[in-house]
Amino acid sequence: MTSLPDAHKSLPRTIAIDGPAASGKTTIGTLLAEELGYLCLDTGIMYRAVTWQALAEGIDPEDEESVTKLAEQIEIDVLPKSVEDGRPFDVLINGLDRTWEIRSPEVNQNVSLISSYPGVREAMTRQQRKIAERGKVVMLGRDIGTVVLPDADLKVYLDASLKVRAQRRYAEEIAHGNCVHLDEVIASLKHRDAIDSTRKVAPLKVAPDAVVINTDNLTIAQVIDKIKTILVQRDP
């Protein structure tokens, strides 16, 4: 197992981890941040929160103007987990715990459309950059290394085949007692991949200076170790 450099000052201020849905960003990012004593901000939850709130308020996801207005006003908080039920952290929307609601199939179905709206992205990006200003942050998403934090000190792009990602997501759903079929999970991921990587604003793509890690045949511990090796090697 790779040990991290002693002096934390030699560690990067900001670490960007991007990649497609179910590539392992949340698991890897949360564990890495825990080891480093950094904050982990999973920006996907912000787009999920806007989507959930829009649906809850009966706003048509295709109504870009109303969704954008909502994104400019919504209050999203991420707090240390208050319950041991498999959640990596608590997600509060306008003060209420919505940690699991934002992972619902309805949100999965609509989040890519809503996150393609330029005004929604602008509102979320503004908040994300503000959080990163404090430093010691691992930020997860699709456009962190390319748009949100183009000067991030370390950029990782986590990738995995559609088949492996679908199997992982399927296992998670089953573990949570949700009745899903593997075919549905594959279709849902395909749908989101297509929108996320072809939208006009901040599409999912590999930043030129990112390290790409394919996690198909790697355990979580092996991925973390790879990132730690990169951290150590960049140590002067």
CB of 4 to ligand DC, least distance (A): 26
Regarding 185 and contact with ligand DC (CB under 6 A), the answer is no
Residue 23 interacting with ligand DC (CB under 6 A):
no
Which H or E element spans position 221? helix 220-233
Burial (CB count within 10 angstroms: exposed 0-12, middle 13-18, buried 19+), residue 158: buried
Residues 126-155 that bind ligand DC (CB under 6 A): 141-144
Residue 17 beta carbon to ligand DC: minimum distance, rounded to whole angstroms:
10
Binding of ligand DC at residue 24 (CB under 6 A)? no
Binding track over 96-115 against ligand DC, x by CB under 6 A: ---------------xx--x
**Cα 223 off chain centre by:** 16
Which residues, including other chains, have CB under 8 Å from residue 83's CB and lie 6 or more apart? Answer: 90
- For residue 188, the SS3 value is helix
With respect to ligand DC, which residue has the nearer C-beta, 172 or 235? 172
Rounded Cα–Cα distance for residues 102 and 57 (Å): 14
Which residues contact ligand DC by CB under 6 A? 21, 43-44, 47-48, 111-112, 115, 141-144, 192, 196
